[in-house]
Structure 1
Amino acid sequence: MRTALILAAGLFAAPAAAGVPEALDQHILPGFDRFVQETGALARTAEEDCTAGTVAPAYHAAFDTWMPLAEVKIGPSDTGALSVLFWPDDRGFTPKALNGLIADADPVVTQPEDYAEVSIAARGLMALDMLLFDPAYDSADPYTCQLVTAVAVDLARQAETLQAAWADEFAAALRSAGAAENATFLSPQEAMRALYTQVLSGLEFTADQRLGRPLGTFERPRPRRAEAWRSERSLRNVLLAADAAQSLAHALAETDLPLTDAAMVSVREAAAKVNDPGFQDIDDPQARLQVEVLAQEVRSLRTAIANEVGAPLGIAPGFNSSDGD
């Protein structure tokens, strides 16, 4: 709390970086407010009726509100985001963790305050994705039903923790970048670069992971490596992630972004041609081509943002967004 007060005081000691307040006030902080609201509704729904058919709509609403925040992985979200959305999961840790809980009938599901101590693979949105949409799990089974509720309640608590951490401390650190008391961001430019990095790295992740992983190779496509394929959210998540990048880019920019907006139109047009929302048909050459085109358009969106937002910031096109510097 003392740190938060010091950083908040720094708001008056140094000018905020242009675009940083807008990114916080228009995109990030309202995003966490919505995520808290929808995960709270998800938890209440599961507590009243934890069967898949009842919980699924609230799950989708919560997932929708997470996607604009999913690739903002700085500050509290640097580690906090992992237990909200544990993916990719090449080694199948999520089914192993869930199956272990079910096999042992672990009483942790009746102790919500303790569920935060279980493996992150058994927490968050992807655990719910499996419990609600994989036929291997029966949400009508009493223990599985309790497990659904435990994951939902834990997710709502994670949302509240992240929201508070951003609102109470980290947002102040970004706003007061360059203030003498601010040891996190030594200049306004550092704060701006930190947020800009999230835009580019998020689009990299979408192209390389959300689209590249299920594509695999032509000889060996990997459709079941798609994100949230069981709930048929794979395409939906790509679009939400791209929309989020466009929104955050606009918040950071001081001018209009015609190239970025045109590139986003192309992303939507390419997405409209993808037939299977879970990317499960990409072993078909034509279906695969449509997903490849979508990946190209996402990369074009990244290039447009780099040119229209990064270049005015003095960040070279060859900047590696995953480095964070």
Structure 2
Amino acid sequence: MRLVLIVLMLFCAGPALAQAITPAQVLAAAVNQVIRPSVAAFKNRANGLESAMGGLCAAPSDRALGIARQQFGLTAQAYGRIEFLRIGPLMEDNRADRLLFWPDRRGIGLRQVQAILAEEDASATEVMGLRDKSVAVQGLGALEFVLFGTDAEGLLGADGAFRCRYGQAIAANISSIADQVAMGWYRYDGVASHLTRPVPENYDYRSETEALEALVGLLSHGLEGLRDTRVNPFIAQGEAAANPKQALLWRSGLTMAMIAANIEGMEALVAGSGLARAVGAEHGGLDNSIAFEFRNAHRAIGLVTLPVEQAVADEKQALALDYLVIVTQSLQGLIGEQLSGALGLSVGFSSLDGD
């Protein structure tokens, strides 16, 4: 009978024990189980993209072009999963903008890329020369136009040799930046050690509270950025018509895949770190509420099956995009306000609001 009572007590205590996670455990799991594997995955995909572009330029063919396009998609989505990690290595040396210059509402980047192709600017075919140019011509957006934009079919013939060399230089640049981002998260006395072992002597994270505020801030601002720079610009709002050409990576058909990758990256950080389980018993339902809304986001994304220019004209799929906006607002409230409050944190202004 005593054994039965002990088993019953342990069973009843299960949920409470599952929530017994400390800030130190959250920070260590965030870095070691989520962030480092994610940046390593991006590095590996970017290295594969560089190899694929090299193969395409060396021996152009339909198969080689297909491989390069596939590797582009895989790399873009791997970046989408870490894009919200706007601290440390990604924010050094202007890497975030060099990897993906967006939004580009005035089409400045597109015009610069088209000028390089029209003039056959040889300096753009070398990584060092490319690095000296505008950030808009050296990342994923520029490579998308090379691989999927106007006259991309020329990559299969001699007339596309310059275009391919330019694309190869972009891929090499992306790969180099990805290597630097990954190494930065393993650097001694870098952002990883400061997040997981905050001390008053650090210039950035001097306490566990400041480190947790950084994680929650990344999520809250990441959700805001997803909504305001990925979804809202191309959907119909009020009397304003939809504008699908304001969608990220619409030429390659990767708009929704990138949005999904953004959601996956943030969801992984919440779940993998246990961030929403480091709250008091009175807030024990927050973890489930956040997970529920992430599932709603995936459901909304899954309903958008047409290319964005067709999806915005389809009533059901347009409604799914509208619902996605609502879900991101809900998630931002749950994480940036409720979770932040439950953890006793203060999440600062977003970089998107000008403050």
Kindly provide the amino acid, as one letter, of the partner of residue 195 in structure 1: L
Written as runs of structure 1 = structure 2, the 5 A alignment for 1:280-291 is 280-291=310-321
Q: Does 1:38 align with 2:60?
A: no
Aligned to 1:103: 118
Q: Specify the structure having the higher radius of gyration (Cα).
A: 2
Written as runs of structure 1 = structure 2, the 5 A alignment for 1:225-244 is 225-244=246-265
Structure 2 CA distance for partners of 1:319 and 1:115, relative to 1, 3 Å: closer
Q: Is the 8 A contact 2:97 2:136 kept in 1?
A: no
Written as runs of structure 1 = structure 2, the 5 A alignment for 1:191-206 is 191-206=211-226
Q: Does 1:297 align with 2:312?
A: no
Aligned to 2:194: 173
Q: Is the 8 A contact 1:17 1:191 kept in 2?
A: no
Aligned to 2:155: 139
Written as runs of structure 1 = structure 2, the 5 A alignment for 1:230-269 is 230-250=251-271, 251-253=273-275, 255=277, 257-269=287-299
**Unpaired runs of at least 5, structure 1:** 1-14
Q: Does 1:128 align with 2:143?
A: yes
Counterpart-to-counterpart distance in 2, 1:38 and 1:172: 25
Kindly provide the amino acid, as one letter, of the partner of residue 120 in structure 1: V
Counterpart-to-counterpart distance in 1, 2:326 and 2:171: 35
Aligned to 1:223: 244
> What is the RMSD of the two structures over their aligned residues, measured on CA atoms?
2.5
Number of residue pairs aligned between Structure 1 and Structure 2: 309
Structure 2 CA distance for partners of 1:279 and 1:242, relative to 1, 3 Å: farther
Q: Is the 8 A contact 1:223 1:279 kept in 2?
A: yes
Structure 2 CA distance for partners of 1:312 and 1:16, relative to 1, 3 Å: closer
Deviations 1:213-268 (A, max 9, x none): 10143432211101111111111122221122121122151627111111112112
Counterpart-to-counterpart distance in 1, 2:185 and 2:110: 31
User: What is the deviation of 1:312?
Assistant: 2.2
Q: Is the 8 A contact 1:267 1:298 kept in 2?
A: yes
Counterpart-to-counterpart distance in 2, 1:290 and 1:236: 15
Counterpart-to-counterpart distance in 2, 1:42 and 1:273: 29
Counterpart-to-counterpart distance in 2, 1:82 and 1:125: 10
Query: Taking structure 1 as the reference length, what is the TM-score of the superposition?
Result: 0.87
Aligned to 2:173: 154
Deviations 1:68-112 (A, max 9, x none): 110111122223211111111112122222122222222224433
Q: Is the 8 A contact 2:80 2:261 kept in 1?
A: yes
Counterpart-to-counterpart distance in 2, 1:161 and 1:210: 26
User: What is the deviation of 1:152?
Assistant: 0.5
Query: Taking structure 2 as the reference length, what is the TM-score of the superposition?
Result: 0.80
Q: Does 1:60 align with 2:73?
A: yes
Structure 2 CA distance for partners of 1:252 and 1:86, relative to 1, 3 Å: farther
Aligned to 2:4: none
Structure 2 CA distance for partners of 1:114 and 1:252, relative to 1, 3 Å: farther
Q: Is the 8 A contact 2:209 2:345 kept in 1?
A: no
Counterpart-to-counterpart distance in 1, 2:237 and 2:67: 38
Counterpart-to-counterpart distance in 2, 1:69 and 1:282: 27
Q: Is the 8 A contact 1:263 1:304 kept in 2?
A: no
Q: Does 1:117 align with 2:149?
A: no
Q: Is the 8 A contact 1:42 1:55 kept in 2?
A: yes
Kindly provide the amino acid, as one letter, of the partner of residue 189 in structure 1: T
* Greater mean deviation of Cα atoms: 30-39 or 75-84: 75-84
Structure 2 CA distance for partners of 1:291 and 1:28, relative to 1, 3 Å: same
Counterpart-to-counterpart distance in 1, 2:119 and 2:29: 49
Identity over the aligned pairs, expressed in percent? 24
Kindly provide the amino acid, as one letter, of the partner of residue 59 in structure 1: F
Counterpart-to-counterpart distance in 2, 1:265 and 1:64: 19
